[in-house]
Structure 1
Amino acid sequence: MGHRKVHAPRHGSLAYLPRKRAKNPEARIRYWPEIKSDTPRLLGFAAYKAGMTYVFTIEDQKRSPHFGKEVMKAVTVIETPPIIICGFKTYAKTPYGLHNIGEVWMKDPPAILNRGLILPENFNTEVMLEKVQKNLDQTVAIRMITATQPSQTGLARKKPEISEIQLGGSSIQQQFEYANQLLGKTVTFEEVFKEGQYIDVAGITVGKGFQGPVKRWGVTKLQHKGRKTKRGIATLGPWNPHHLMYSVARAGQMGYHQRLEYNKRIMKIGKDGKEATVKGGFIRYGEIKGSYVLIDGSVPGPEKRQLRLRVPARPPTDAPEAPPQVTYLSTDSTQGK
């Protein structure tokens, strides 16, 4: 008999290395896409994941074999309390990337902001605005400083998450005027996104701690009669090269990594959280108090974790123009209540 060919592709993706714990439970948005719009608008939002349920909807993807029929889809329920616009920053382009050249804060920041930042007694907003206006010719990007309002959700949390959300559309001058108008106001999810739109969702995945190579990388278990290890790898590598290669599956941290999922469709935007809360409340979350949004499919992270929602970087070209028709939203208990 000749040598038998063995089909053994490598196990596990090397796309996201190193697989170590994220620095923060809040995801970072590293890229803001450019949009074509006559008026300035925010390019993102921050919200909290509550849990999952399912809906019945009329399939409106024309290439789908179920087009025009009623289908069931799994949806993620995300609570979206309004975000507070505390200030904004302006950025100039340098050979080393964007550089902050100006900053404006609202006159009387809300008290909850003291839980996340050490603030001065008062801000001289007029002086800050003058400085920013002088450097407007160098400015290439304006980002709003926003704070979430977890006290308006079912979370037992008071400290707000503070993050930057970029403005897009129109000219820098109009963006500056728009940013000035928004100072100190709150922005709702409906003002940023609409039903049927596609969005990108960034979050920190569920942490699973220290795991072995079988669970972490999906390598094959060794034969049950083998000596020493079973849930490991057969060899750490060849004699040459003499060092241990990074591509060899080893035990280590699994989960609690930042991930960005592209093109998640907004199925529904609602104002009354009671209509989306399952009987007995969502497990480990509770009831939804205010506005919410239903996202088609799953998103990264466990319940309660903050999600960063962004306009799509590479939206689908054949997306339906009309918002989806949701005929039924399930509020069946996940605990049999």
Structure 2
Amino acid sequence: MGHRKLASPRRGSAGVRPRKRASEILPTPRSWPTIQSNEPKLLGFVGYKVGMTHIFMIDDKPTSPNYGKEIYVPVSIVETPPVIPLAIRAYVMGPKGEPTTLTEYWADLSEDLLKLIQQRKVTRLKIDKERMKGKLEEINNKLNDILYLRVLVATQPKLVPSLGKKKPEIIEVQVGGGDIKAQLNYVLNILGKPLSVKDVFKEGQLIDIIGVTKGKGFQGVIKRYSVVELPRWHKHRKGSRKIGTRGPSFSTPSYVPQPGQMGFHRRTEYNKRIIKISDDPNEINPKGGFVNYGIVRNTFLIIEGSIIGAKKRPLFLRYPIRPNWIPQTAPKITYVNLYSQQG
């Protein structure tokens, strides 16, 4: 008859419920880190997932057993065309004790960009110079009451032909470092001008990646929760790819594994390291381009390890909110694989 298991571990995590489809393809952070810097800067950027390759580099993590040695590292490529800061949003404490928008100050934008922005319906404000002048004065007069400043930023997907889209994503990015006055001056200086990822991140540092995972559709409990398939000798069970008992209704678990949506969830990956930032696509493009993506044409990041999402998916890159170490320099790369990925 064989050995019969009487107990098994809990399957699945209650920490990621509900397991439903993400509400937006490019999520924005729900919280932001506080950075120790006298120079103000944006705390996030947007990139598009390209694919993976591998490199060899000199391990520079002091606590690593391979410290100082050449190691093989699988890496992910993220293409990061410049973004365009559009507007400032100032936040103050609201009457209910939570941050609320004080006002918005919009830059003087080109006709083409303005047309694309209006399709997104991100603001009801009429962008005219006289009205915006009053908005800026309001922000200056209430600097002492402002909790933080955020910038509305537009991506430029038209610079990545393989995406097949022109309409920009509009996202809100918090400003960190320095005081409010310095942050305001910094944002006023960058409004309406293309901003490179090099102005936000530096080589070697850690980042968090917020995005939507690959969608896998409606799946059963075996695949969705790694439930162990029932033994075949139980002929009376009416199928084996099911869960056994669901337990009494008053039992401790708040849920039981059930079939349903798997993938296309909003998730955050913490402490991914930027190995390199480069403007030269020839350093990374394999022969024939990346499968299901094409060739990289803009500034790109090489990120250690794998990252979430399907190819071409927009990802939000944020300063790390809980870094496990703070690299001082970028590692030395000794080899980058450029062989064709198509055999």
Normalised-by-shorter TM-score class: over 0.9
Which ranges in structure 1 are unaligned for 5 or more consecutive residues?
A: none
Aligned residues of 1:107 and 1:125 also touching (Cα < 8 A) = no
Report sequence identity in percent: 41
1:281 maps to 289
TM alignment of 1:203-218, pairs within 5 A:
203-218=211-226
CA contact (8 A) 2:86 2:109 kept: no
Q: Indicate the residue corresponding to 1:232 in structure 2.
A: 242
Distance 1:206 1:237 in 2: 32
Match of 2:121 in 1: 117
Q: Which stretch has the larger CA shift, 38-47 or 141-150?
A: 38-47
- Is the partner of 2:134 in helix, strand or coil? helix
Residue 244 of structure 2 aligns with an amino acid whose one-letter code is A
User: Take 2:160 and 2:231, find their aligned partners in 1: how far apart are those partners?
Assistant: 51
1:157-236 pair list within 5 angstroms? 157-225=165-233, 226=235, 227-236=237-246
- Please give the per-residue CA displacement for 1:200-228, whole angstroms capped at 9, x wherever unaligned: 11110001111101111111101224331
Contact 1:274 1:287 in 2 (8 A): no
Report whether the alignment pairs 1:152 with 2:153: no
1:13 aligns with 2:13: yes
Aligned letter for 2:50? A
Q: Tell me how far apart the structure 1 counterparts of residues 313 and 212 of structure 2 sit (CA, whole Å).
A: 8
Residue 250 of structure 1 corresponds to: 258
Per-residue CA distance 1:158-191 (angstroms, 9 max, x = gap): 0101001100111111111111111111110011
Say if 1:108 and 1:122, in contact at 8 Å, map to a contact too. no
For residue 15 of structure 2, give the secondary structure of its aligned residue in structure 1.
coil
Could you tell me how far 1:11 is from its partner in structure 2?
1.3
Equivalent of 1:298, from 301, 306, 330?
A: 306
Structure 1 residues 304-332: Cα deviation after superposition (integer angstroms, max 9, x where no partner):
11010111111223x44221101111122
1:108 is matched with which residue?
A: 109
**Match of 2:16, SS?**
coil
Partner of 1:241: 250
Secondary structure of 1:254's partner?
strand
Counterpart Cα distance in 2 of 1:121 and 1:36? 35
Give the AA of the match of 1:24.
E
The one-letter code matched in structure 2 to 1:114 is: Q
Q: Which residue of 1 aligns with 2:145?
A: 138
CA contact (8 A) 2:278 2:301 kept: yes
Equivalent position amino acid for 2:107 in 1: M
The answer to whether the Cα contact below 8 Å between 1:203 and 1:307 also exists between their aligned partners in 2 is yes
Residue 27 (structure 2) pairs with residue 27 (structure 1):
yes
Give me the TM-score of the superposition, normalised by structure 2: 0.91
* Number of residue-to-residue matches in the alignment: 331
Tell me the equivalent position of 1:85: 85
- Displacement of 1:88 in angstroms is 1.1
Would you say the 8 A contact 2:57–2:73 is kept in 1? yes
Q: What is the distance in 2 between the residues matched to 1:245 and 1:262?
A: 28
TM-align CA RMSD: 2.0
CA drift of 1:98 comes to: 1.2
1:93 to partner: Cα distance: 2.2
Cα distance in 2 between the residues matched to 1:188 and 1:306: 16
Paired letter, 1:235: T
Structure 2 counterpart SS, 1:209? strand
TM-score, normalised to structure 1's length? 0.93
Give the letter for the 2:146 counterpart: T
Q: How big is each residue's C-alpha offset from its partner over 1:225-281, in whole Å with a ceiling of 9 and x where there is no partner?
A: 43312111112222x529x96421000010111111111111011102232122222
Q: Structure 1 residues 160 and 7 mapped into 2: Cα distance closer, same or farther (>3 Å)?
A: same
| Structure 2: distance between partners of 1:302 and 1:5 | 38
Provide the C-alpha distance between the structure 1 equivalents of 2:327 and 2:108, rounded to a whole number of angstroms: 43
Encode CA deviations 1:17-64: one digit per residue, 9 max, x unaligned: 111111011122001111121121111101110101111000111222
- Secondary structure at 2:144 match in 1: coil
Residue 106 of structure 1 deviates from its aligned partner by 0.8
1:215 aligns to what SS in structure 2? helix
* Match 2:337 to one of 292, 317, 330: 330
Name 1:37's counterpart in structure 2. 37
Give the drift of 1:117. Answer: 3.0
Q: 1:321 aligns with which of 312, 328, 331?
A: 328
